[in-house]
Amino acid sequence: MLAFKATQDFESRPDSRLQPKNPTQFMFIDSSHGGVNAKPDKTVRSFVMKSARTKKSWSTRPKSPKKDSAPDSKAKRRPLVQTQMPVGPDANADDPPCESHNVSADGWYAISPKSAYSERSLSCSSSEWIYGQTTPNSISAVADYEQTENTCSMFASHQEKSLRQASLMIRFEPLECLPVRLDRNAWNLLHQFIITAAPRVIPIDPSETAGVAAMQWIKGCIQSPIGAPFIYAVLTSSARAAQVESENYKWLAMSAVNGLLSNPRTSTNDSTISAVLVLLAIEEADLADPRRQGHDRECSLMVNDAHYNGLRTMIRQRGGLAALSGNRLLQVCLLMHSIAQAITTFKHPYAVLVDAHGHVEDYAIIAKQSPSDFAQILRHFRVLNLDRPLLKIIFAITIFVADLTRWYETGICPVDSLDLQKHASLLMYRLFEWYRHSEGDNMSFRLPTAAVNQSICLALLIFMVNATEPSAGPFGSRLSKTVARLDQCLRAAPLYLWSSAPNVLLWVSSMGALGAKNLSKTQQASGNEPSLTLFEQCIRSASIGEFLDHNTPADLLLDKMRSCLWIPSVFDERAKTLWALMGLCGSSLAELDDVSSSEGEQVEDEYALGQSTTLRFFTADKRRI
């Protein structure tokens, strides 16, 4: 095999065609030893490749019949979302090292004057806008972000340490080469979202083991070539949390989403779906704000409907949640939001994770546990002669609660946190569907025993919502519809039907009181919403032969509750506070503040899920029960 060594100084030479060529030194490579260079200290080049390099540029691609265009006529790749960047005093210092995407103001493309998701034209605030079209002067109002760095520092917490550790394993490189160009303040907001939102995505994971998965998800979205909608959506979320101007980012996100909808591949991409989910959560949070009234609320309602219908369509076109198995975190987040919204509104969820046969995965089958292992708990429910399908769900929940309790206490569980969150949502969906079926069955569920079955089902829903959000603040109106139905069922169920299982009545009534306690005082006094009075009466009726007052030790009631479904780390303090406020026990706890929603704060039940979104992502000082 023949090779050469070039002796020219390639860094300082002028055009080789104008210079006399130095003699080329050739050497042989002994191929009998695998082609190892006999003289490794010499620079070896292929003679053929050298000959090719000295000629005009070449390529292995097939020649185009068209004449090669001039080098300066080649079109550079344009960003998916074209914007005009603001030029501030620090613009040069903050410029990313990769290609700039600055374009003139006329670079904004015009979209159809109809909503991207619906056929309605939208017109809000002082300027005309449409979903998918907006014309702000820049993507960032610099004046509004002068104090972003100071504001964002309010959100630093213990989660930041674990996220920094995770970021050592997952580097967002190159963060500078995103689909859109960001100024310094936008970079701060994006960074703040990464360190604060990632550990809060999965509420069932207080130890933040899913933080790495969350960062992988965020990384994949913001570095995607079509990640502009997600970037603008999370900037909206972060700006909202920092209490700085966020509207520009929101309209940019909507415009960017609209730009991707014409292509079936980009319209159902993980990044696009993620962006719409974030935008929907933001709009729900806006609608949960009782101060948002008038024209602003009308706009939010229209945009919220567009996001909701668009997200549902995207998931359906993608092939359902099962088709998102390659992105488990996104799959779980969508399932979690869908089921939480269903429980809040008592409408069918927009997305459910089912197998090829349309069946929901059963946690009892995965855990491979025997009912005899939980006989002491299950016997309280069996003596009530409950509906058999409901008993099967209770058995699965009993196994799940045992694993969840160990997870909270030790961090050990047969499945990881994402699977725990998934199965929690699936169990709540099974309860929700059982109740809807029972409401529609006019034959068998008119019996008085039906009210007992339904009471237990509704109490289980309240229990599961609390159990899977151990760090949540007050739920506000989010459980209002569930509590109202439980109130009706308890009134319809004669007390003698509970005589064989008084501890279950105590447990059901306490769950109802826990949900009612989160309602505002105005709602409770309106007469249309359930109050604590009925639940207090049921608790006293369940405590046969015992007089409950402030002198009653809380442990007496806790022992009875633990014979049913219970997670001490989640419910002990909440129950003690609740019973103390009701005057049932614990005089020392009676001084505790009422953590129900503030006076006069009424939120439409349809959008009450936004209250939890606000507390979880947009409030620095998260109150806990």
Do 49 and 101 fall within a single domain? no
Pure H helices in 170-227: 184-197, 211-222
Return the bridge partners of 25, or none: 5
Do 285 and 383 fall within a single domain? no
528 to 186, 243, 483, 521: CA distances (angstroms): 45, 34, 12, 12
**Radius of gyration in angstroms for the set of CA atoms belonging to the chain, rounded to a whole number:** 31
Cβ(486)–Cβ(459) under 8 Å?
Answer: yes
Q: What does the pLDDT read at residue 122?
A: 38
Residues in contact with 559: Cβ distance below 8 Å, sequence separation at least 6, in sequence order: none
Residue 469 forms part of a structural domain: yes
Do 386 and 467 fall within a single domain? yes
Return the bridge partners of 124, or none: 127
Q: What does the pLDDT read at residue 492?
A: 93
Angle of the 609-617 helix axis to the 270-287 helix axis, nearest 10: 110
Q: Which among 318, 353, 385 is the end of a domain?
A: 318
363 to 225, 397, 522: CA distances (angstroms): 38, 8, 40
Residue 264 forms part of a structural domain: yes
217 to 31, 161, 214: CA distances (angstroms): 49, 19, 5
Q: Which among 497, 527, 545 is the end of a domain?
A: 545
Residue 353 forms part of a structural domain: no
Do 33 and 120 fall within a single domain? no
Do 381 and 518 fall within a single domain? yes
- Amino acid type, 575: A
Do 268 and 124 fall within a single domain? yes
> Which residue pairs, CB below 8 angstroms and at least 24 apart, start in 274-277?
274/217, 274/221, 274/230, 274/233, 274/330, 275/221, 275/229, 275/230, 275/232, 275/233, 276/229, 276/233, 276/307, 276/310, 276/311, 276/314, 277/311, 277/330, 277/333, 277/334, 277/337
Residue 394 forms part of a structural domain: yes
Written as six digits, the tokens of 102 are 């600055």
Do 28 and 96 fall within a single domain? no
Residue 528 forms part of a structural domain: yes
Burial per residue of 14-42, b for 16 or more beta-carbon CB atoms within 10 angstroms, e otherwise:
eeeeeeeeeeeeeeeeeeeeeeeeeeeee
Do 45 and 150 fall within a single domain? no
Do 137 and 233 fall within a single domain? yes
- Residue tagged 């129900």 (tokens): 596
d(CA 588, CA 9): 87
Cβ(400)–Cβ(423) under 8 Å?
Answer: yes
Do 206 and 286 fall within a single domain? yes
Do 142 and 31 fall within a single domain? no
- Residue tagged 């620095």 (tokens): 620
Helix, strand, or coil here: 3? strand
Domain enclosing residue 118, as ranges: 91-318
d(CA 152, CA 239): 9
Q: What does the pLDDT read at residue 99?
A: 38
Cβ(422)–Cβ(353) under 8 Å?
Answer: yes
Q: Which among 291, 318, 345 is the end of a domain?
A: 318
Residues, the chain, total? 625
Say how many CA atoms lie within 13 Å of 506 toward its Cβ.
Answer: 27
Residue 582 forms part of a structural domain: no
Residue 384 forms part of a structural domain: yes
Cβ(124)–Cβ(299) under 8 Å?
Answer: yes
Do 541 and 434 fall within a single domain? yes
Q: What does the pLDDT read at residue 168?
A: 38
Residues in contact with 409: Cβ distance below 8 Å, sequence separation at least 6, in sequence order: 569
Written as six digits, the tokens of 581 are 């406020």
d(CA 379, CA 472): 31
Burial per residue of 307-345, b for 16 or more beta-carbon CB atoms within 10 angstroms, e otherwise:
bbebbbbbbeebeebeebeebbbbbbbbbbbbbbbbbbb
The predicted model scores a pTM of 0.73
d(CA 19, CA 378): 93
Average pLDDT, consecutive stretches of 10 residues, N- to C-terminus, the chain (625 residues): 41 47 50 46 47 52 47 38 34 37 29 35 38 37 36 42 45 66 89 84 83 86 94 93 90 94 91 96 90 89 95 96 94 96 95 94 88 88 95 96 94 92 98 93 70 97 96 83 95 93 96 83 52 90 80 89 94 92 69 43 72 75 37
Residues in contact with 620: Cβ distance below 8 Å, sequence separation at least 6, in sequence order: 154, 155, 241
Return the bridge partners of 181, or none: none
* Total domains in the fold of the chain: 3
Query: What are the backbone dihedrals phi and psi of residue 535, each rounded to the nearest 5 degrees, phi first?
Result: -65, -35
End-to-end CA distance of the chain: 79
Residue 378 forms part of a structural domain: yes
